[in-house]
């Protein structure tokens, strides 16, 4: 038996993390708050009414051999996926996306007002170009890339070696494995969320003007943003962190990406609006205020946590988010703010039929769970420090 088999110090070492800097009073308050959130997460439901999940109940054949939509009203196949399959098939036949997408969406009783309700065309063109076999190859390559970069990332720091890289990489694999669900290759969040997890793993933050490594991360995030605009918070946070670290060249690159995306999105909206009628019905509001259920349900139903009972799945989401604070790295703080930020957004935005938005962040969350024991040790040690000193 190797000497590191029983060595759990890399998982629980409390020294030097963000939470260890808390005063005893703040650490105790943090423990009380964490306990309250964990208890609440065991109570709040994580299933959509009817137990609908984008990863369950798919059947083959949303599009026939001629590329026409198959009537899916009597099947559990997700209607959104059927629409995207039709778009891919029509592009593969040589049609222009903007010539058909608004009428196609309207015919299926999907709103096209506002124009942002119409998806960006990037993924439809990529899927049409790749074909069925190419999509499978791309999905496998993306999943393996995510696992590989996180295996390397989690073992770079001396205090993180031992069992942590192995356990952390296994958790990352659990999060990234949904990339292989071929029924949902047309789903934008599946690919964009995987690319964000890849970008996070590729990024090496510099500090105090020392460059770091970020070009590959920028490219992965740019593709994620081109596929789904919901990747924008990730890019904004990257820009903010680069500025905070005084890496001005990197910050300028992230800001330039935001500007280019804004221009591309404006162009997309202008093309869509050309086909929107004056009397077009408006989409239902996206600001729904579902609270903690919105956060938990989005992540659970868009990940392999859906197989767990809600009293286990909910706390897992909380610990994945909190755990990033146990990583003695600026990336740890980034991971916490990223997961907590998307979680807060899901609390206030998104209807039940938007639950697959959780796939934007779910693949990147699982790695945080490996740091949860360390984070708990840090905050507990900070909370008990006065008592220990008194003794």
- Sequence-ordered list of residues with C-beta below 8 angstroms from that of 225, at least 6 positions apart, any chain: 192, 231, 232, 235, 257, 261
The band of 172, judged by pLDDT with boundaries at 50, 70 and 90, is very high
The pLDDT of residue 78: 72
Buried b / exposed e along 231-260 (16+ C-beta atoms within 10 A): bbbbbebbbebbeebebeebbebbbebeee
Q: Report which secondary-structure segment, H or E, holds 204.
A: strand 204-205
* Of residues 305 and 12, more confidently modeled: 305
Q: When comparing pLDDT for 285 and 390, which is higher?
A: 285
User: 218 falls in which pLDDT band (50, 70, 90)?
Assistant: very high
Predicted TM-score of the model (pTM): 0.88
Q: Which residue from 277, 291, 210, 223 is spatially nearest to 250, judged by alpha carbons?
A: 210
Is residue 342 scored above 80 in pLDDT? yes
Average pLDDT for 350-374: 92
Task: Taking residues 129-145, report their average pLDDT.
Answer: 96
For residue range 154-164, list pLDDT tens digits in order.
987 766 667 88
Q: How far apart are CA 298 and CA 51, in angstroms?
A: 12
Plot region of 203 (φ>0 → left; ψ -120 to 50 → alpha; else → beta): beta
**What's the pLDDT tens digit per position in 94-109?**
999 999 999 999 998 8
Question: Domain limits of the chain?
Answer: 11-390
Give the pLDDT score at 351. 85
- Position 211 scores a pLDDT of 62
User: What's the mean pLDDT in 36-50?
Assistant: 83
Q: Convert the pLDDT of each residue in 295-334 to its tens digit.
A: 999 999 999 998 888 899 999 999 999 999 999 888 999 9
What does the block give as tokens for 204? 């090496």
Cis amide linkage into residue 114, ω under 30° from 0: yes
Q: 175 to each of 23, 58, 154, 342, how far by Cα in Å?
A: 34, 20, 15, 16
Rounded Cα distance, 196 and 29, in Å = 32
| pLDDT bucket at 64, cuts 50 / 70 / 90 | very low
Q: 381: how many CB neighbours lie within 10 A of its CB?
A: 18
């Amino acid at each position: 038996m190797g000497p590191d088999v029983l060595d759990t110090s890399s998982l629980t070492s409390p020294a030097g993390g963000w939470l260890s800097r808390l005063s005893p009073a703040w650490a105790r308050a943090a423990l009380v708050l964490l306990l309250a959130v964990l208890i609440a997460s065991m109570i709040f439901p994580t299933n959509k009414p009817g137990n609908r999940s984008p990863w369950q109940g798919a059947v083959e054949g949303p599009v026939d051999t001629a590329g026409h939509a198959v009537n899916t009203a009597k099947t559990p196949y997700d209607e959104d996926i059927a629409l995207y399959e039709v778009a891919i098939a029509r592009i593969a036949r040589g049609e222009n996306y903007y010539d058909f997408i608004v009428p196609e969406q309207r015919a299926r009783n999907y709103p096209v007002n506002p124009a942002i309700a119409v998806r960006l065309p990037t993924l439809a063109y990529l899927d049409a170009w790749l074909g069925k076999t190419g999509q499978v190859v791309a999905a496998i390559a993306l999943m393996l890339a995510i696992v590989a970069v996180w295996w390397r990332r989690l073992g770079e720091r001396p205090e993180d070696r031992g069992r942590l890289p192995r356990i952390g990489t296994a958790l990352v694999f659990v999060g990234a494995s949904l990339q292989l669900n071929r029924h949902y290759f047309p789903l934008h969040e599946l690919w964009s969320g995987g690319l964000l997890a890849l970008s996070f793993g590729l990024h090496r933050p510099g500090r105090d003007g020392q460059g770091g490594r970020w070009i590959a991360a920028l490219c992965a995030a740019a593709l994620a943003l081109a596929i789904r605009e919901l990747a924008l918070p990730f890019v904004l946070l990257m820009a903010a962190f680069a500025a905070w670290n005084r890496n001005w060249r990197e910050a300028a690159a992230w800001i330039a990406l935001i500007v280019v995306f804004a221009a591309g999105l404006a162009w997309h909206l202008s093309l869509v609006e050309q086909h929107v009628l004056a009397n077009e019905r408006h989409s239902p509001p996206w600001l729904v205020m579902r609270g903690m259920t919105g956060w938990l349900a989005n992540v659970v139903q868009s990940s392999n946590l859906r197989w767990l009972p809600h009293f286990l799945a909910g706390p897992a989401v909380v610990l994945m988010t909190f755990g990033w604070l146990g990583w003695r790295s600026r990336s740890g703080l980034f991971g916490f703010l990223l997961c907590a930020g998307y979680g807060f957004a899901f609390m206030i935005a998104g209807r039940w039929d938007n639950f697959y938005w959780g796939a934007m962040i779910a693949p990147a969350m699982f790695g945080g769970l490996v740091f949860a024991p360390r984070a708990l040790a840090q905050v507990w040690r900070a909370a008990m420090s006065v008592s220990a000193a008194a003794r």
